[in-house]
């Protein structure tokens, strides 16, 4: 029974023991190391360390809609979530906003000069790629799940994660991309 639970959770896939798994291990393993062998070793160490701690009731606070972490992490997460209901996080209540797909698609079409049919499809031209990256970045910041972004863009969730990471880096190093992202976000927030 325990073996079945572990296989369902993806643990064997993260360790490289289940080659037939449908689990996309890359997004998790990237947090543990630059190459898979090193990442798997560190993941295993992480799991062993957690087991030694035993049951930690505070780790289940996420089931109640709470964010576990220090003040800085909680603030960053709340900023990234961006939904519109009042949600209690720890001892604070925050105003959140719901992700609006139609508004973001419209803003990106107008800001990038590319139709949604182009950037939500297989288009590889520079304009389509930029628009798709902006949709992934702003969508993530506005509270869209990877699954929602995946369904709209036709990318798998692993590609969504990689694109989001790549565009975040571009925003940091390229002022033109940073200005475009800021302009899209400002317009999106104004329209929702």
Residues 37-96 have pLDDT tens digits of 998 999 889 888 888 888 776 666 554 456 666 677 766 776 666 543 333 334 444 444
Question: Is residue 109 within 8 Å of 117, Cβ to Cβ?
Answer: no
Q: What's the pLDDT at 47?
A: 85
Report the alpha-carbon distance of residue 116 to residue 80 in Å, rounded.
Answer: 24
Average pLDDT over residues 145-155: 86
Could you tell me the pLDDT band of residue 162, with boundaries at 50, 70 and 90? confident
Give the torsion through C-alpha atoms of 33, 39, 45, 47, to 10 deg: 110
Q: What's the pLDDT at 19?
A: 72
H or E element, residue 3: helix 2-9
Q: Which of 96, 158, 166, 159 is nearest to 134 (CA)?
A: 166
Report the alpha-carbon distance of residue 55 to residue 177 in Å, rounded.
Answer: 45
Report the alpha-carbon distance of residue 161 to residue 32 in Å, rounded.
Answer: 16
Report the alpha-carbon distance of residue 115 to residue 127 in Å, rounded.
Answer: 10
Name the more confident of 151 and 59: 151
- Partners of 95 in beta bridges: 86
Span(s) in the chain for CATH 1.10.1750.10: 101-191
Could you tell me the pLDDT band of residue 130, with boundaries at 50, 70 and 90? very high
pTM check: above 0.85: no
The CATH classification of domain 101-191, taken from the options 1.10.10.10, 1.10.1040.10, 3.30.70.100, 1.10.1750.10? 1.10.1750.10
């Amino acid at each position: 029974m325990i073996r079945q639970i572990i296989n369902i959770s993806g643990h064997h896939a993260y360790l490289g023991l289940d080659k037939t798994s449908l689990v996309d291990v890359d997004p998790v393993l990237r947090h543990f190391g630059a190459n898979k062998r090193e990442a798997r070793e560190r993941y295993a160490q992480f799991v062993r360390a957690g087991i030694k701690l035993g049951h930690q009731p505070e780790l289940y606070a996420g089931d109640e809609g709470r964010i576990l972490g220090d003040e800085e992490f909680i603030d960053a997460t709340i900023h990234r979530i961006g939904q519109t209901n009042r949600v209690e996080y720890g001892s604070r209540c925050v105003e959140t906003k719901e992700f609006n797909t139609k508004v973001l698609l419209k803003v990106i079409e107008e800001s990038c000069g590319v139709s949604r049919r182009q950037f939500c499809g297989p288009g590889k031209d520079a304009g389509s790629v930029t628009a798709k990256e902006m949709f992934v970045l702003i969508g993530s910041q506005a509270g869209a799940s990877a699954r929602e972004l995946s369904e709209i863009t036709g990318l798998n969730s692993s590609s969504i994660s990689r694109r989001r990471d790549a565009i975040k880096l571009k925003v940091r190093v390229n002022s033109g991309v940073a200005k475009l992202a800021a302009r899209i976000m400002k317009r999106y927030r104004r329209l929702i």
